[in-house]
Structure 1
Amino acid sequence: MQQTILERIDRVAQGVFSLVLRGADGPLAPWEPGAHIDLHLPNWLVRQYSLCGDPADRERYRIAVRDEPLSRGGSEYVHRFLRPGRRLGVSSPRNHFPLEPAPEYLFLAGGIGITPILPMLRAAIAAKAKVTLMYAGRSTETMPFVAELHSAYGDRARFMATGDRGRPDLAALAAQSSSRALVYCCGPASMVETAEAVFPSDRLRTERFQPTARTFAPDTAFEVVCARSGRTVEVPPEQSLLDALSYAGQPLASACREGVCGSCELVVLDGEPEHRDDIGAAEGRMYPCVSRALTSQLVVDL
């Protein structure tokens, strides 16, 4: 974990604060557009936020935090109690939403979903790609970084206040978009689901802040062998693998506990995991906060 000092807090939209975090002990870990960090708050909560600053700035990270009405304590603490000068721990950046090379891009952002898109825009334009942004929100007052985007990108950025004009017509955008364009979408579940319905899957890249609602077979018991410690842990149906490991003295880092952040990634050496995450676990990896086992035993690198 890296240590940072909260350098600035700025109001960038109604109910949205931008936080600038300066490295407390020198340069921060490098990152690329699409990456996010875990922010360790003083109230013992850990929350994930997309990096929306400049990857070339190794001294600072920038994130944005919306004040959620149904906050579980993270955004509430940031908006009510956090002040400049506070020391905060952050994880190294992780990236499950990388910007791939392409001659053209269509970026679709909804509300706070603009945050991972901001550095992507800068990188795409620096690479001389053709870029279009469609940015939607309830009103321009609630949409962070509108002024920054308008100033930097002019007519390449289109803004839609859904409270006045309704939702953007993504089907029409899909019909008009070039077959050479990669489409990056981050926003509410309704926007992501519509994008998945109208854009070809081979050209669409998405990031979700909440897990997809899906149905799995009933949970069953299985056992996990920790290869390094030699310990075998029983995982009952009513308990997650993450919790079972923790209670057995084999704790893992974790944050979202919903299969969307990747902080609890675990290496699987043998057995077949049942992947229930929204990230798309790589071969030989799983996320034990939500995923379970299709075999009676898993062997993991712990």
Structure 2
Amino acid sequence: MTAPAAAAPPECKVEITVREELAEGVVGLELRRCDGGELPGWTAGAHIDLLLDEGLERQYSLCGDPADRQAWRIAVLREPHGRGGSAYVHERLAVGDVLTVRGPRNNFALDPAPRYVFVAGGIGITPILPMIRQAEAAGADWTLAYGGRRAGSMAYREVLAAHGDRVRIHPEDSAGLLPLAEILAGPADGTLVYCCGPEPLLQAVEQACAGRASGALRVERFTPKDVAGAVRSTAFTVRCTRSGIAVEVGPDRSILDALEDAGAPVMSSCREGTCGTCESPVTAGRPDHRDSLLTPDEQDAGDTMLICVSRSLDDELVLDI
């Protein structure tokens, strides 16, 4: 993953032109620019930020065709115990409503490979759909295992059925949990595994892929994973080379909060280490990574960090901000 450029991702005004029920608890939205122009380009795995009223910002994967520059498509699962974003989308958004959208941004890009194993759980199918399209276009071999609580809650089943035995639809209420040992038993050399879904599924796939080569598994989380407590319990200094701002970050504050209060030019969205908006280049010092986005190799490199949740192992941390 590369650190974000200094410029903010583009924002545009879009209108909801289609709203449809895709499955139990899943609503699909089609978004088009209000001025009729083309939308920014994107690649499989990308997401956009919906800037909703009342300060809500939420990230949703694009699940349409990247070649279509006229419309974006997202699918939103109603989360009964969520933080308000999905309830807002389900209860308050309708055709004709205008939204501000930021992005797209891609932290889950599909790298070239001769073979792919895609594993999706529930709404985690959304970033996988354009990946399948891209894999097909490239002539790669691929399979998909798609699990859900029950068939009626699994969006895009009919679309995926057209791919025949490449796709395994696996409702938990009738077929049990995905048999990951069987799904991942194929050849590992040259195969990339992409997984998106609820945390128990991600952890199970991570364990099943523990013996594969570094980088062979790519996951995307919608919610932060559990991370052990910060290594350092005392304050540290963060110095920003481009803006000249320096702040002290206490044990009960985030780097992001401290820099925002000091007027530093920082961007943020999820504030929980999953979306990548606040990813910042590190030029000196060792980050204490607390995010749920960077790969282990990226964390070990230590040249970038998510400042909304990560901290410092050293007295001073220097960022290219």
Structure-1-length-normalised TM-score: 0.94
The answer to whether the 8 A contact 1:42-1:88 is kept is no
Following superposition, the deviation at residue 19 of structure 1 comes to 1.0
Partner of 2:81: 70
Distance, in Å, in 2 between the alignment partners of 1:170 and 1:107 is 11
Secondary structure of the structure 2 residue equivalent to 1:243: helix
Report the 3-state secondary structure (helix = DSSP H, G, I; strand = E; otherwise coil) of the residue aligned with 1:175: coil
Structure 1 position 162 matched with structure 2 position 172: yes
Aligned partners of 2:232 and 2:313 also within 8 Å:
no
Q: Does 1:237 align with 2:245?
A: no
**Out of 23, 26, 38, which is 2:33 matched to?**
23
Q: Does 2:263 align with 1:252?
A: no
Shift of 1:117: 0.3
Q: How does 1:168-179 map onto structure 2 within 5 Å?
A: 168-177=178-187, 179=189
The within-5 A match list for 1:138-287 is: 138-151=149-162, 153-177=163-187, 179-199=189-209, 200-202=212-214, 203-215=216-228, 216-250=230-264, 252-280=266-294, 284-287=303-306
Q: Write the distance in 2 (CA, Å) between the matches of 1:197 and 1:225.
A: 38
In 1, distance between residues paired with 2:285 and 2:22? 48
TM superposition shift of 1:23? 1.9
- TM-superposed CA distance for 1:251, in Å, is 5.4
Give the SS at the match of 2:103: coil
Give the Cα–Cα distance (whole angstroms) in 2 for the partners of residues 272 and 181 of structure 1.
32
2-side partners of 1:102 and 1:214: how far apart? 31
Counterpart in the other structure of 1:109: 120
Q: Is the 8 A contact 1:265 1:287 kept in 2?
A: yes
Q: Would you say the 8 A contact 2:145–2:183 is kept in 1?
A: no
Q: In 2, distance between residues paired with 1:177 and 1:188?
A: 25
The equivalent residue for 2:63 is 52
2:16 corresponds to 1:6: yes
2: distance between equivalents of 1:297 and 1:174? Answer: 43
Distance 2:113 2:107 in 1: 18
Seen in structure 2, the aligned counterparts of structure 1 residues 201 and 140 have a Cα distance that, compared at 3 Å, is farther
Q: List alignment gaps of at least 5 residues for structure 2.
A: 1-10
CA distance in 2, matches of 1:181, 1:268: 31
Give how far 1:218 is off: 4.3
Let me know the Cα RMSD of the aligned residues: 1.7
Aligned 1:27-38 pairs, distance under 5 A: 27-38=38-49
CA contact 2:287–2:302 (8 Å) conserved in 1: no
Which moves more between the two structures, 27-36 or 213-222? 213-222
Indicate if the aligned counterparts of 1:240 and 1:290 stay in contact, CA closer than 8 A.
yes
Structure 1: runs of 5+ lacking an equivalent: none
1:124 maps to a residue whose letter is A
Q: Which runs of 4+ in 1 moved over 4 A?
A: none
Letter in 1 for 2:180: L
Q: 1:294 and 2:313 equivalent?
A: yes
Counterpart-to-counterpart distance in 1, 2:264 and 2:127: 33
Q: 1:113, 1:187 within 8 Å by CA — same for their partners in 2?
A: yes
- Shift in Å, 1:178: 5.6
Give yes or no for contact 1:39–1:49 (8 Å, CA) kept in 2: yes
1:112–1:43 distance in 2 versus 1, CA, 3 Å: same
Q: 1:204 to 1:301 in 2, by over 3 A?
A: closer
Letter of the 1:64 counterpart = A
CA contact (8 A) 1:242 1:251 kept: no
Residues of 2 paired with 1:278 and 1:172: CA distance? 27
The letter for the 1-side match of 2:197 is: G
Equivalent residues of 1:11, 1:18 under 8 A apart: yes
**Number of residue pairs aligned between Structure 1 and Structure 2:** 301
